[in-house]
Amino acid sequence: MTNGARSVDELRGELEVERTLGWLFFDIHRLLAKAFETRSKELGLTRSQWRILCVVDRVPGGQTQTQLADMTEIEKAPLGKILDRLEDGGWISRKGHPSDRRARLVYATSKIEKYMPELAAAAKATFAQTLQGMRQGEVKDLIAQLQRLKRNLGGADE
């Protein structure tokens, strides 16, 4: 902080990187969601729902909601609502934990098997579009950079 007294106009002009970079993440996030949901619309799954579903799907033995919340870094309250909708749609089921009566274990139903090809195709098409014109090495570097930013912001490392 070397600034003695900066004018408002000076401050306005100094924020170029912040203005550009910050909203790129915001915009790409929104555009990605839109691109994916357009392709998978007939299944009625939003991107967030799919994210949760993928994590549920990877652990056949079932997980508690708290474990899911930790893995996705989504708070338990909104996670519960997303699970409600997934359950309504028949994508998951919840069963009481055998030894902890507070907890409920979340499982993927067989519905995911049926629609996985469609969902995988939607995801692949979305990223083929997103990454068009980039070499594989560039993609790898980009991922590494983004993971660094995420760590810098205090995010978990996956």
60 binds, among DNA, a copy of itself, none (CB under 5 to 8 A by kind): none
**By CB neighbour count within 10 A (0-12 exposed, 13-18 middle, 19+ buried), where does 58 fall?**
exposed
The one among 41, 44, 58, 70 contacting a copy of itself by CB under 8 A: 58
The one among 43, 55, 59, 74 contacting DNA by CB under 7 A: 74
Q: Computed from CA positions of residues 60, 65, 68, 72, in that sequence, does the dihedral angle turn out positive or negative?
A: positive
Q: CA-CA distance, 34 to 21, in Å (whole number)?
A: 20
Does residue 149 contact residue 157 with C-beta atoms inside 8 Å?
no
From the list 70-78, 113-121, 128-136, 138-146, the region that binds DNA by CB under 7 A is 70-78
Given the rule CB under 7 A, which residues bind DNA?
26, 30, 34, 46-49, 51, 64-67, 73-83, 85, 94, 97, 99-105
